[in-house]
Amino acid sequence: MLNPVIPSSAPPSGRSASELLDDLVAAFPGESVSVGELIDQLDLRAHGVLLLVLALPMCIPNVPGISTIFGVLMLAPALQMVFGSRRLVLPKRVREWRVDCVALRRTLKVATPTLKRIEYLIKPRFSGLTRFPATILVGLQTLLMAIVLILPIPFANWPPGMTVAMTALALLQRDGVLMLLTIPAAIASVASVYFGARVGIAVIDNLFEWLQGLIPALN
C-alpha cells in the first residue's frame, strides 16, 4: 500500500520556495541534468518543487509547444498525489530524460524575483488542506491542469500554469488559504480552454471560407 502524502514537500526549517529554487540551480551547474538526478535532489519535497519548476515556465513567454512537454511531466506528481504516494517515482526511461540546465536557470532567474516579492504573503495556515487525504483532490485538480497544458490550444497555457504554481507554493508552505484560491484559478483555466478552442475554430472557419471564396475568383 502506498504511504499517504504528508506535507514533507514543505521546506525544512521554514525555508522559502525561492531559497529552494536557488539551491536547485546551484546544485546543477552543468549544461544538463537528468530528470532522475533532479528528483533525487528534491527527495521528499519533489511533488511541490517539481510542480513549481514545471509551472514557472508556463507563467512567462516561452517556446511554443513546451507546455505540452511540461504538461506530460506534470502527470506523474499529479497522479501520485491522487494515489497517496509519499515519494515521486518515475519510470526509468523518464528518469533518463535530460533537462537543459541553462534554460532552467534562465527561467528560474526570471521568475524568482517575482516569487520573492509575493511569497511573504504565503504562510502556514489551514495546513490540513495541504495534507492527505485533501491532496487527493489537489492531485485531481493538478491532473486536469496538466491535461489542459497538453492540449494544443493557443494562449491557454498561462492560466493552468499559474494554477499549478499556486498549488506548488501552497504545498511547499502548507498554505491552505492559497490552496483554496487555486479552485477559482482552475475554473478560469478550464474557461480559457473553452474560449481558446472557440477562437481557434472561428479562425479556421474564417480561413476556410476565405479559401472557398478565393478559388472561384482564381477560376
pLDDT of 183-217, one tens digit each?
999 998 888 777 777 776 777 777 777 777 666 65
Residue 148 domain flag: yes
Residue 131 domain flag: yes
Say yes or no to pLDDT of 140 above 90: yes
Nine cell digits for residue 145? 491542469
Q: What are phi and psi of 98, to 5 degrees?
A: -100, 140
SS3 string, 7-68, reads: HHHCCHHHCCHHHHHHHHHHHCCCCEEEHHHHHHHHHHHHHHHHHHHHHHHHHCCCCCCHHH
Residue 136 domain flag: yes
- Asked if residues 164 and 48 have their Cβ atoms less than 8 Å apart, the reply is no
The residue segments making up the domain with residue 73 are: 7-194
The winner for highest mean pLDDT among 19-28, 113-122, 157-166 is 157-166
Residue 212 domain flag: no
Residue 54 domain flag: yes
Residue 211 domain flag: no
pLDDT at position 141 is: 93
Residue 208 domain flag: no
- The Cα–Cα gap between 160 and 57 comes to 11
Q: What is the mean pLDDT of the chain?
A: 76
Residue 206 domain flag: no
3-state secondary structure of 166: helix
| Tally of domains in the chain | 1
Only one residue has cell 475554430, namely: 201
- The Cα–Cα gap between 70 and 87 comes to 19
Q: What are phi and psi of 20, to 5 degrees?
A: -65, -40
The winner for highest mean pLDDT among 56-60, 117-121, 180-184, 213-217 is 180-184
- Asked if residues 98 and 32 have their Cβ atoms less than 8 Å apart, the reply is yes
Say yes or no to pLDDT of 72 above 50: yes
What mean pLDDT comes out for the span 120-146? 88
